[in-house]
Chain A
Amino acid sequence: MLPARAAPALLAATLLASPALAASDFSTAIEGIELRPEVGTGIYGYEATGNVGATSIGLRDFDRRRILLWDGRADLTLGAVANEHPFAMLYGAQATGEAEGGLRLSPQRALSAYASVGLGASLSAVTQSGVPFDGGATVNSLDGLGGVLGSADVRLGFGGSYLKERRSLLFELQPLAEIDSAEANQPALGLFGGALHARYDVLDRFVALGDLSYALAPPRGDAALGIESSTSRWILSGEALQRWGRFFLGLGLSVSRAETVVAYSGGTSFPTVAPILSRLYLLVGFWP
């Protein structure tokens, strides 16, 4: 086991030893019309939806120094949630997107230190048949899935970039800040934390990315009951897409869980943990 203080020196040595490369832009994208069946879990029980829309995921470097990457998706959604009884049909639309701009500090080397800034946002409007999009409180809570939901986050990234003619690997440690909108049974939250993020691209053929994040919301007080609530949340997500000509196929997973400690002024606290919010989806697409 290396002592922690040796890590920076080891990284520097690795960077210096990596071979210098000639400048040539790396540009890859997988995009097109998608069909995305999904199953998942949440506080509402189980969900199964079919999603139709468009997706675009790609990466481009400029002179091996600057890197732009993106991952966006917009879908129409139709499906159902169910636990025991009754089933509830859902419909709506969802869009998510994130973009990151980064700088390779040693552009001529295959392995370079890397710094980035990323922005992400999501917006969804999903509801049950006969229920207004903002009527989430009038039906069973679909928190995490239904209602008009939005979130935005900003991330700074520090890590490494390995870039060759046909392959790119990014690995980053990312401090993050996020705002989540209120849900039917949940307050709006501001979260601060960090993520481990990795992304691997093969030129015009394959993308895989993974993310593990942990974030905390500042304590919220409820003076009337003498309560202070502190929420933490972890998310593990991953996605992989492979392209064959005009067609592509993908698989994605997201698993998250929130813990809220409810502390009463007398000293008693209740460390509560919500059900797992998960998504597993298959992605089938083509470029028309």
Chain B
Amino acid sequence: MNLPLVPLALAAVAPFTCSPLSADWGFGASAGMKTPPDPPLACSLTMPPDSAASQRAACAFGQGDHADATLGLPPGLAAQIPIRHVIVMMKENRSFDHLFGRLHDEGQPATEAEPSTYVNPDLDGTLVAPFHEPTTCVPIDPGHQGASVEACLAGGAMTGFVQNAARTTASDGHAVMGNYEQTDLPFYFWLASNYALADRHFAPMASGTYANRNFFLFGTNAGVYDTGISYPDPSTPSILQLLVAHGYSWAAYSDSQPFSGTLGWAPGAPGLHPFHELLDALDQGTLPNVAFVDGVENVTDDHPPADLQAGEAWSRSIYEHAVGSPEWSRLVLFWTYDEAGGFADHVPPPTGCRAVPSSSPFTQMGPRVPLVAISRWAKPHYVSHVVHDHTALTRFIEAIFDLPALTARDANSDALFDLFDFSCAQPATPPGPAPDAGTGGCPG
């Protein structure tokens, strides 16, 4: 027998014994990142009117463009913004109407209420109107990958959520029309009412977790459509690379998978830290320039069937450490959701610019998600109606650290400055006291 089957078989098995799907993102250099000292605090900054909005709407800007040019700011102005530490708390799978459809009547009248006339047909044709969600631990996880979200949008009618949920779960799908009251989520309602809320913030792509988080990190979906198959090529330029390459620090904090598994990183990789180290960094004033924090999957990340009140309490712990931090005047905590998770929202999402030079053809955004800017510099009790998606978070980071745009998508995005007032009129102390997280919403 001439076949060298045994050596060949052994050679074949070898690559499968060392996690063949693992990639090395090359962030070894991040282990030695130093956070540059914050420049002296100044509060006399006045942002000029946004004179480049029409150019951005026409997708006139491209990869490499700096925020000064794309936002119509005098050169160097954005880098004078007092915020030098950005915390991105991107939670999972809740639409704006699902969380805050009643906020208009319960704390923030400046935001648009979910219309009582907004209905979705179920599979029997019965029209389902918004209703008070009886539990904070919704037991279903509606389909929310590309095909499902497309079905939910129903060509812009926003009437496919219930049928999609019914087809993708063992339920009638009615739960996706449910929404919450202040008594269910008192801390979340308080944050959205007391700080700066964006009520026209959309998921950047009509799909699931990986694609939407990729837009935030890479300015493109980076070859990923549905969650679970394929990761971005690790050489794809990212906001993480840009920060390190330009001398700024970042860290990801999670007791679960950072970025909800989007990059396939294993615990222990460079830049990854347990959650408690974020609280320690806040207490000690040792925050990196950008901190990404993720809750535990299906427990504190708000991904159904997680109890929202558990996620609310977890978020409150970050908030309490943030307002007590010696860096409170130098930080912003952005609270948002990666995508709507199949929960209904009545506002048709717009399209964004193509992510040139990426080959990504995706321009259709997904349903609205909440975004709240929590900072000494966030406008109090404010609601912004400016349209943007997660690449606006990317653009905010690029703006304050003077980094180039990753793609045309973030280059042509707004940078959320509408949510802020960097003048000395802003109160130095936070509003308070914050209410406790809700309890008892998830009986049994």
Contacts and interface: CB of A to CB of B under 8 A. Distances in A.
Contact of A206 (B2, B27, B65, B245): B2
A278 B20 contact: yes
Contacts of B223: 43, 137, 140-141, 143, 184-185
B25 A270 contact: yes
A266 B246 contact: yes
A264 B229 contact: no
Interface string A40-63: 010111100000000000000000
Contact of B12 (A82, A253, A273): A253
Contacts of A222: 63, 237
A217 to B, nearest CB: 12
B145 A86 contact: yes
B226 A41 contact: no
A151 interface: no
Given A185-B359, A224-B404, A280-B12, A274 B233 contact: yes
B29 interface: yes
A24 interface: no
Contacts of A272: 23-26, 233-235
A85 B362 CA distance: 21
B26 A262 contact: yes
B170 interface: no
A83 interface: yes
Given A41-B16, A85-B227, A253-B12, A271 B63 contact: no
B64 interface: yes
A271 B20 contact: no
B21 A83 contact: yes
B5 A251 contact: yes
B224 interface: yes
Interface in B123-151: 145
Interface in A22-78: 41, 43-46
Contacts, number: 169
A186 interface: yes
A223 interface: yes
Nearest to B11: A253
Contact of B29 (A143, A224, A225, A268): A268
B343 interface: no
A20 B365 CA distance: 75
A263 B61 CA distance: 24
A43 B362 CA distance: 20
A101 interface: no
A186 B233 contact: yes
A125 interface: no
B64 A224 contact: yes
B243 to A, nearest CB: 10
Contact of B63 (A143, A224, A236): A224
Contact of A251 (B9, B25, B235, B404): B9
B15 A238 contact: no
A231 B245 CA distance: 19
B230 A43 contact: yes
B234 A138 contact: no
B425 interface: no
B20 A141 contact: no
A271 B21 contact: no
Interface in B389-442: 404, 406
Contacts of B234: 260, 272-274
A202 to B, nearest CB: 6
B132 to A, nearest CB: 31
A157 B242 CA distance: 43
Interface in B26-50: 26-29
A238 B246 CA distance: 44
A223 B360 CA distance: 20
Nearest to B143: A86
Interface string B232-244: 1111110001101
Most chain B beta-carbon neighbours within 10 Å: one of A43, A88, A205, A231: A43
Interface in A173-192: 184-186
A44 B16 contact: no
Nearest to A137: B359
Nearest to A208: B4
Contacts of B3: 206, 208, 240, 242, 249, 251
Contacts of A225: 63-64, 237, 242, 404, 406
- Chain A CB within 10 A, most for which of B25, B26, B64: B26
B187 interface: no
A140 B224 contact: yes
A81 interface: yes
Contacts of A143: 223, 233
A139 B24 CA distance: 23
B228 interface: yes
B8 A139 contact: no
Contacts of B242: 225
A278 B14 CA distance: 11
Given A264-B241, A270-B235, 16 more contacts: A86-B145, A143-B223, A184-B223, A185-B223, A185-B232, A208-B2, A224-B404, A225-B406, A240-B2, A242-B1, A264-B246, A266-B246, A269-B29, A274-B233, A275-B231, A278-B16
Interface of A: 41, 43-46, 81-86, 88, 137-143, 184-186, 202, 205-206, 208, 222-227, 229, 231, 236, 238, 240, 242, 249, 251, 253, 255, 260-262, 264, 266, 268-276, 278, 280
18 contacts: A43-B21, A83-B229, A84-B227, A137-B361, A138-B361, A141-B223, A141-B224, A185-B236, A222-B237, A225-B63, A225-B242, A260-B234, A260-B235, A268-B245, A270-B241, A273-B26, A273-B234, A275-B21
List 4 A-B pairs, minimum CB-CB distance, nearest first: A224-B64, A141-B223, A270-B26, A185-B223
